[in-house]
Amino acid sequence: MNTRGLGSQLKDNVPVPDFSAAGAFESYDVLRRGFTNVKNELFPAHPLELSEKNFSLSQDKMNFSTLRNIQGLHAPLKLQMEFKAVKQVQRLPFLHSSNLSLDILRGNYDCIGFEDILNDPAQSELMGDPHLMAEHKLGLL
């Protein structure tokens, strides 16, 4: 026999849609997001786009397999553990982290790339309220 009661049974069986402002009735903001283009969302704009997106991942895989063949299984595992430890160290949520230690581990600290000249497009100069961003990162909001 179920002792949860009739109210909890109805709540479990009846789906209730979310009617918030960001839910099903939100309109698409053309001024902030631009025009929608379904083709660009489905297919890459250029054949080399997928290759460029996955370049660092494929380069890491190749380096790890070479390292495994030369030094054994412990070397890539140790390097991956160091990568994971370095990625966890961050600045405050409202400050941009350059991840210099990760670049040093990968050997990219002396390479000049697109993000060094023109900056990464994902990083904007807008800075939010430090208290709100820290509370969001900690899960308090």
Q: Domain spans of the chain?
A: 1-88, 91-141
Q: Does position 106 have pLDDT exceeding 80, yes or no? A: yes
Cβ neighbourhood burial of 49 (10 Å; 0-12, 13-18, 19+): exposed
Q: Which residue has the higher pLDDT, 27 or 111?
A: 111
In the prediction, which pLDDT does 88 show?
86
Q: Does position 30 have pLDDT exceeding 60, yes or no? A: yes
Spatial separation of the C-alpha atoms in residues 67 and 79, rounded to whole Å = 10
In the chain, how long is the greatest CA-to-CA distance?
69
Contact 94, 137 (CB under 8 A): no
Q: What is the pLDDT of residues 51-91, one digit of tens each?
A: 888 888 898 899 999 999 999 999 999 999 999 999 888 77
Mean pLDDT of 116-133: 71
